[in-house]
Chain A
Amino acid sequence: MTEAVGDQGSGISHGPGEERQAATSSAQPPETGPLTRPQPGRLPGTQPRTPLQLAWRQLRRHRLALLGGVVLVIFYVMALVADFLAPYPLDFSDRERFYHPPAALHLRDATGEWHLRPFVYATRLVDPGLRTFEADRSRGYPVRFFVRGEPYRLLWLVPTRVHLFGVDDPARIFLMGSDGFGRDVFTRIVYGSRISLIVGLLVVAVTIPIGMVYGGIAGYFGGRVDNLMMRVAEVIIAFPSFYLLLTLSAVLPATVGCATRFYLIIVILSSIGWAGFARLIRGYVLALKQFEFVLAAKAMGQGDLRIILRHVLPNTSSLVIIVATLTIPSAILGESALSFLGLGVREPCSSWGNLLSAGANLINLSRSPWLLIPGLFIVATVVAFNFLGDGLRDALDPRMRTG
């Protein structure tokens, strides 16, 4: 998302420090003036603090925003070390244990003896229709930490076989149950976070640069240019992306991987989605260009492009950050809706959206409710982003500052 802010972009951020980076983006060059109407008697310079400190101060007061930030940090870290957290490989399936309920962790065994280390029992399928299993209580399998399992590269760099936890065969540790193929839901959620969490960043990375430049130009020049550009944007806004999507999913070759294919669709979709954002920026720029610093730059004979890039667009940064934090959640929701229509991420890849839409039916609701857990992750992420966005809006808008 920082990329979107323009000249200080440092690439897409995946992990910790999300909100800090977002906040720094507002620490723009000195022109960072009032955003809409000039407010007499409220000059930025009268405060003895930097804008960053001000924003942070404001943000800290917004408890929900902080909470959102923390949740997101946790989730993004989870995505980064997915292979370490997941006890099983992504395509692992246990044909004997499908629709297996979440593993019951025990501390007390059949003989009544207590153990320090939690353990599970091995289970056996009793009735595939009722999805019932029977535990073999004669022997417990303790949960082991830092066990050796499937090899992978930690953070795509360090080759290792160590996984956070696991149990010995034939027992299984299905923390959040297993799905209809006997695959571990927890594993799939952890791996799914990689796709689901990056979807939003990808959309933002495509829409925002295009939208800023397009909207900036239209707004800055106004008049005929603006009129023409906005009409074109309107065609794109009115264009039913749904049809495009259906068709694309048919035209894209079947041989590209399921995830690659989805990224392609997202990129193409967001190359349409910029239009709405461009319209927003344009309205903003339309107002901005009346301000003294723009007029002054013009009077100094600076080129239009330079003015747009150096003076106008940077002033939209707080708007951009807010839009970005709100676009990401809608992209995540969009992905789940696409999966519901069968157009999203396809098997055998996993994303929260396709996990949820595969699990969201009434039999599961009453028989295997754990298949709906991916929904909680979606809701939690989207709520977190929204809180953060809200907090940032309050924090970055100078008029909101009270202290």
Chain B
Amino acid sequence: MRERIIMPLLVIVAATLAAAMAASQSAPPTLPDIPNPKVVVEAPEIGKFGGTYIVSSISDPRTFNPIVAQETSSTGVTGAIFEGLVEQNYLTGEIEPGLAESWTTSPDGRTWTFTLRQGVRWTDGTPLTMDDVLFSLEAVFTDGVQTSTVDLLTIEDKPIRWRKVDDRRIAFMTDKPVGTFLRLIGSLDIIPKHKLGDALAKGGAEFNKTYGIDTPPREIVGTGLFILQSYVPGQRVTLLRNPNYWKVDRQGNRLPYLTRYVILIVPNLEAARLKFLAKETDLYSARAREFAEFKQGEQAGNYTIHDGPETFSSEFLVFNQNPTGVAPPKLTWFQDVRFRRALNYAIDRKTIAEQVYAGRASPAWGPESTGNTLYYNPKLPQYPYDTGRAQQLLAEAGYQKGSEGLLRDAQGNIVEFIISTNAGNTDREAIGNIVRQDFTKLGIRVTFAPEAFNTLVGKLTGTFKWEAVIIGLTGGIEPVTGRNVWLSSGSLHMWWPKQEKPATEWEVEIDRLFERATAEINQNRRRQLYFQYQEVVATQVPMMFFTNPKTQPAVRNTLGNIKLGLQGVPGELETLYQKTTSRP
């Protein structure tokens, strides 16, 4: 999914009006200018106003244009300034109203109608109108605009269609029902037409450059929690509270509580860690290996380190099954499911979890993380570490260990291959070392050769000349957003991308499951389809997943409203507050 949704820190908890009424047992709060503000009920406490919240980021934002923004370093900033029609609840992953206060679906599931919230204003005082929504859609679909949102809003090669119903309502139409439509439309950030209209009129290339990091901060106008105050390259981004925001807490206080939100730019995780321990920042996403040490320092450091859930990202080993990339006999081994299953048994996931993640990772058997509570299939076939079993399976498949201790296939070829990964990623390098030793025990001659990231990707997506690779992918909640990976025609279908027609039966099966899941509106039935796809992947082992590492956010104790969400996000920006506002 879009980073905005992967990073629920910036995503907002809310509840329906009815829930709010039930909670407060009183009339729904209103604001002078906004008749129907969104009431945030899930925050445990009513906060105090004022205070600064400081986090760190290890790279500079690359743009302040939310349509163009790709990396977390950019979306981390734009997410506090711009918003979509709907939002994802950071605790549950469910979709909730955003700039649209409500929506309806037609019975056939092909038309979705959204009603815009009244009274919302851009931070320069201009009212938010339906024209802004239409403009944002236009921007996404303008030729030359660099955005991945266009891929989300294009369903089976057909862009979604839309129609302005009246000044407050817009209808979206698709040819087929789309089960995940709400999530997709949530990836569209609404941008101000009165500020960006001229740039878009000059074409996509010009639009890509507007709202760049060289823009004077006051030019950047959003509807979100914060207003950009300043950006100092290589040092920090400072944001100030939006005094006219459209959400309130249970008591009707206008959110957010925080006066200032600062993103410090630090060169690396080491520096981020030091800054946190020196109490210069309020949040640090500790690495697994640091958990125990941080636990010890809680008292002295005045912070709490949380035992967070697993992330959605996964690290895996994949063998090249693409005939343009490798030739027999290697191709034959890699395409042989018995070979892949045997090797999967030889991977010592416990050692990986202990050495690489200091014990804070659970073994992974399938493509969806344990942390994805909505769609993770807990009943997958497992491949517990068992070198004997692996050897037995290899023997059954015709692979024999020769007298010199090397494994040979049925034709007598020595089994050897190169495992690559991107150099500099210490976790993957460590995993690679362990896996190399594991496979060596089977008599396989393995070379482990990390390469530059660019080179590796060039091979994976361009030349296809590689044998085995350890790499990771970021995941979203809805597996269908990973269609590029799982559809046999996908460009990231690692082991054999962009197939004309699926090479194997099980790939046909995955294609079919994805197609059905995409169109399935009922979440339970969609879950069943996702379960099936995970099972196929776990049985056929095109990728060998290692572990799902846990998150361990360390949070300063001065912060209020901390409640861990998906992927270990400690709280939401709108309700976080400083209990003691020593800092201005």
- Chain B contacts with A in 307-363, Cβ cutoff 8 A: 348, 351, 354-355, 358-360
Distance between B463 CB and nearest chain A CB, rounded to angstroms: 13
Contact A346 B355 (CB under 8 A): no
- Residues of chain B contacted by A244 (CB below 8 angstroms): none
- Residues of chain B contacted by A246 (CB below 8 angstroms): 452
Known contacts A250-B455, A254-B420, A255-B449; is-contact A127 B292 (Cβ 8 Å): yes
Q: Is B500 part of the binding interface, using a Cβ–Cβ cutoff of 8 Å?
A: no
Q: Is B496 part of the binding interface, using a Cβ–Cβ cutoff of 8 Å?
A: no
Contact B355 A180 (CB under 8 A): yes
Q: Is A385 part of the binding interface, using a Cβ–Cβ cutoff of 8 Å?
A: no
Q: Is A300 part of the binding interface, using a Cβ–Cβ cutoff of 8 Å?
A: no
Q: Quick one: which of B273, B420, B433, B452 contacts A347, CB cutoff 8 A?
A: B433
- Residues of chain A contacted by B291 (CB below 8 angstroms): 129
- Chain A contacts with B in 340-373, Cβ cutoff 8 A: 342, 346-348, 358, 361-363, 366-367
- Residues of chain B contacted by A249 (CB below 8 angstroms): 423, 452
Contact A181 B433 (CB under 8 A): yes
Distance of A72 Cα from B257 Cα, bound (Å): 64
Mask of B429-461 contacts with A, CB within 8 angstroms, 1/0: 110011011000000000111111011000000
Q: Quick one: which of B295, B355, B423, B447 contacts A98, CB cutoff 8 A?
A: B355
Mask of B47-61 contacts with A, CB within 8 angstroms, 1/0: 000000000000000
Interface on chain B toward A: helix, strand, loop, or mixed SS? helix
Contact A254 B449 (CB under 8 A): yes
- Residues of chain B contacted by A346 (CB below 8 angstroms): 423, 449-450
Q: Is A49 part of the binding interface, using a Cβ–Cβ cutoff of 8 Å?
A: no
Closest to B269 in A: A361
Closest to B277 in A: A362
Q: Is A93 part of the binding interface, using a Cβ–Cβ cutoff of 8 Å?
A: yes
Q: Is A158 part of the binding interface, using a Cβ–Cβ cutoff of 8 Å?
A: no
Closest to B268 in A: A361
Closest to A341 in B: B424
Q: Quick one: which of A128, A181, A258, A362 contacts B270, CB cutoff 8 A?
A: A362
- Residues of chain B contacted by A258 (CB below 8 angstroms): 449
Distance of A342 Cα from B426 Cα, bound (Å): 10
Closest to B454 in A: A250
Closest to B354 in A: A128
Mask of A127-140 contacts with B, CB within 8 angstroms, 1/0: 11110000000000
Q: Is A231 part of the binding interface, using a Cβ–Cβ cutoff of 8 Å?
A: no
- Chain A contacts with B in 299-348, Cβ cutoff 8 A: 342, 346-348
Known contacts A130-B292, A255-B418; is-contact A347 B270 (Cβ 8 Å): no
Q: Is B110 part of the binding interface, using a Cβ–Cβ cutoff of 8 Å?
A: no
Distance of A127 Cα from B292 Cα, bound (Å): 8
Q: Is B108 part of the binding interface, using a Cβ–Cβ cutoff of 8 Å?
A: no
Contact A250 B451 (CB under 8 A): yes
**By the criterion of a CB under 8 Å from any partner CB, how many residues of chain B are at the interface?**
36
Q: Is B274 part of the binding interface, using a Cβ–Cβ cutoff of 8 Å?
A: yes
Q: Is B94 part of the binding interface, using a Cβ–Cβ cutoff of 8 Å?
A: no
Contact A128 B452 (CB under 8 A): no
Distance of A11 Cα from B456 Cα, bound (Å): 40
Q: Is A95 part of the binding interface, using a Cβ–Cβ cutoff of 8 Å?
A: yes
Distance of A180 Cα from B433 Cα, bound (Å): 11
Contact A250 B452 (CB under 8 A): yes
Closest to B424 in A: A342
Q: Quick one: which of A129, A250, A254 contacts B289, CB cutoff 8 A?
A: A129
Q: Is B293 part of the binding interface, using a Cβ–Cβ cutoff of 8 Å?
A: yes
Closest to B295 in A: A129
Known contacts A95-B351, A254-B418; is-contact A347 B292 (Cβ 8 Å): no
Q: Quick one: which of A95, A255, A347 contacts B429, CB cutoff 8 A?
A: A347
Distance of A361 Cα from B449 Cα, bound (Å): 23
Known contacts A128-B358, A180-B430, A255-B447; is-contact A362 B293 (Cβ 8 Å): no
Contact A129 B270 (CB under 8 A): no
Q: Is B206 part of the binding interface, using a Cβ–Cβ cutoff of 8 Å?
A: no
Known contacts A362-B273, A367-B293; is-contact A93 B437 (Cβ 8 Å): yes
- Residues of chain B contacted by A181 (CB below 8 angstroms): 355, 430, 433-434
Distance between B309 CB and nearest chain A CB, rounded to angstroms: 18
Distance of A346 Cα from B430 Cα, bound (Å): 12
Q: Is B290 part of the binding interface, using a Cβ–Cβ cutoff of 8 Å?
A: yes
Distance of A254 Cα from B424 Cα, bound (Å): 15
- Chain B contacts with A in 144-194, Cβ cutoff 8 A: none
Which 8 pairs across A and B sit closest by C-beta, in order of nearness?
Answer: A129-B292, A254-B449, A342-B424, A129-B358, A250-B455, A130-B292, A128-B358, A250-B452
B interface, CB within 8 angstroms of A: 270, 273-274, 289-293, 295-296, 348, 351, 354-355, 358-360, 418, 420, 423-424, 426, 429-430, 433-434, 436-437, 447-452, 454-455
Beyond the given pairs A362-B270, A366-B293, 18 more chain A to chain B contacts, judged by CB atoms under 8 angstroms and listed by A's residue number, are A93-B437, A95-B351, A95-B355, A95-B434, A128-B359, A129-B290, A129-B359, A130-B292, A130-B293, A180-B355, A249-B452, A250-B454, A255-B447, A342-B424, A347-B450, A348-B433, A362-B274, A363-B289
Sample of 14 A–B contacts (CB below 8 Å): A93-B433, A95-B351, A98-B355, A128-B358, A129-B358, A130-B292, A181-B355, A246-B452, A250-B451, A255-B418, A347-B448, A347-B450, A358-B426, A363-B290
